[in-house]
Chain A
């Protein structure tokens, strides 16, 4: 079995995590494509608002709706692959609509000027929306495999902690505190000495208006808390299922790979399952190349045997040879340090965790053919070979 197949075989949910800029979205699409090529009904859920993924998939734009992706141009099935783009704001709106106790509260929340910030920028809000949508599509039973491309957090670990942080931020003590103060603002005399001090100091800083309005918003928003807690519990249960696997997407730089270690530890602590590591954009080595350590003369000699080289003359050939060697040497330095870091990680993670290097291509992946090319490169990695 190839590493890629091992990564996909055991899962019906794959959560792709990793720092921004490592190719998470493209990799998620390729993983989905491979499963779909093998006949599994697969949904790729991306958060990437850029049009590029849509273009690569051969469609004009992706939005909140689920769209089928035709794979016939690369010899695949017509309707096993689907894709959708998560619109954070809309996903959060849906949560509010579903969980508000009554239409009046719902409107009060959606119409509040703090709402936009709360639903998109407060720590954990994006992850909460993503988990919620994931939960819905998985439970719909329409797909054999759902792949989630997580929000571009600066740190892979954020995704695990985010729902908790959101809860923490919205802890009911804050709401009670605000409500308590807010109620008595008009009757200052009723504030105890301590609360009065707190209120006066805070408002000197924030202004009274912000204070009262935020308090009012929190009061409405807190009616959703019970729902949030319940949903978070349900999502946590989904994450903990053995068929839900986390895939770490990383660059081959030693410092980024280091993050994969922390992530694995955190997963273990939380009782979650690691499905594998994809190391994207790996440089190819040259140290086994006979010319790499040879003198420029040797390489120039070899070039000289090629037809057309006689047009160039010895000094020119030598200059080319030197540059070729310098170039190979630079790549080799990178390749070597990358290969060492990857091998260490693979040994440490053991046989159960496929570690899959993907080569750096000469150009960006721009089309469905490009995705398929990357897929084929990924499909070559064998589980036992260790690289």
Chain B
């Protein structure tokens, strides 16, 4: 388990999946920061989002052109037509035809109806950058994919469906097979399942893991439990706090003066914190037991908005393989 923890940031291609709001973007940025800090050139790859990453570094929102946001930290935010264009150009190598055919409005609509195609071209473009070289050496040491939240984060599953359900032959099939191989290559690729320690996200994560294994024969690199509350109070302290709260309750019989009320709410807040921590602990245990995969914990940050400084803390946590409490 400890070896897989240390390998969290070792791969050349990292895919962060999970449903919306679990912290995919946050952790992707923090991973990129951690890698760039360690001297690696890293590309953060986002797919058609309303970009928040540029502003974190005091830059304009990231668009379809690759930009360097901080030393060695590059980012791109590609749109389906952009990814499609680059992908088609790479596979067809016919620039002239592209404009005539693929930029036709009707054709573009038609392409959107092909099941799995947007996912395929996105992954294709991301892998292209992973293998890209400049001046005789790799252009990037790592690519981090902040996966789209659509289709319940199940986008990887759609790719082989292209083969089985829709297409029998042709270049798309070949590409889909190639992608499936790359996803399975654990030396090169690491797929993280990001979740919160709450019931629904945990259920969905376990379900997704099962389907990745069964439908794609993919073993995710690990689960990252994000936004875990640190537990400040030991079990003994919790017991003491509970006793104190109870004596206060008995003494005041719920008719406390304002001083007692303030004291009581201090104690209640601590017990509230403990209750939420205990609940999270239950979900963490379940994740560990039922997934059989390493679960990396990232602490909740209490800053109102996560700026670059707050993200640096998460980057440090990620570098050391996550928190243990």
A residues near B (Cβ < 8 Å) are 19-22, 50, 52, 113-114, 116-118, 121-123, 152, 154, 168-169, 171, 173-174, 177-178, 197-198, 201-210, 214, 218, 251, 254-255, 284, 286, 289-291, 299, 302-303, 306-309, 312, 316, 320, 323-328, 330-331, 333-334, 336-337, 362-364
A-B contact pairs, 16 of them (CB 8 A): A19-B20, A20-B19, A21-B200, A118-B113, A154-B148, A173-B105, A177-B106, A202-B110, A205-B92, A205-B170, A214-B110, A306-B248, A307-B247, A320-B237, A333-B304, A363-B279
B20/A173 in contact, CB under 8 A: no
Smallest CB–CB gap between A19 and chain B, Å? 6
B251/A154 in contact, CB under 8 A: no
Number of B residues whose C-beta is below 8 Å from A?
Answer: 74
B292 within 8 A of A: no
With beta carbons under 8 angstroms apart, the residue of B92, B170, B275, B304 that contacts A201 is B92
B263/A174 in contact, CB under 8 A: no
A209/B169 in contact, CB under 8 A: yes
| Measured CA separation A331–B109 after assembly (Å) | 49
| Measured CA separation A197–B98 after assembly (Å) | 11
A178/B199 in contact, CB under 8 A: no
Q: A20-B20, A210-B114, A362-B275 are in contact. Are A308 and B243 (CB under 8 A)?
A: yes
Interface residues of B in 77-126 (CB under 8 A from A): 88, 91-92, 94, 97, 100-102, 104-107, 109-110, 112-115
| Measured CA separation A245–B186 after assembly (Å) | 50
Report A-chain residues with C-beta under 8 Å of the C-beta of B324. Answer: none
| Measured CA separation A307–B311 after assembly (Å) | 44
Smallest CB–CB gap between B322 and chain A, Å? 20
With beta carbons under 8 angstroms apart, the residue of A50, A113, A168 that contacts B165 is A113
B residues near A (Cβ < 8 Å) are 19-22, 52, 88, 91-92, 94, 97, 100-102, 104-107, 109-110, 112-115, 148-152, 158, 161, 165-173, 196, 198-201, 203, 232-233, 237, 240-241, 243-244, 247-248, 251, 258-259, 262-263, 265-267, 269-273, 275-276, 279, 302-305
Report B-chain residues with C-beta under 8 Å of the C-beta of A121. Answer: 115, 151, 158
B110/A178 in contact, CB under 8 A: yes
A169/B149 in contact, CB under 8 A: no
Residue of A nearest to B116 (CB): A117
Name, among A52, A201, A205, A334, the residue most crowded by chain B CB atoms within 10 Å (CB to CB): A205
B262/A21 in contact, CB under 8 A: no
B21/A19 in contact, CB under 8 A: yes
B248/A154 in contact, CB under 8 A: no
Smallest CB–CB gap between A377 and chain B, Å? 14
| Measured CA separation A112–B323 after assembly (Å) | 50
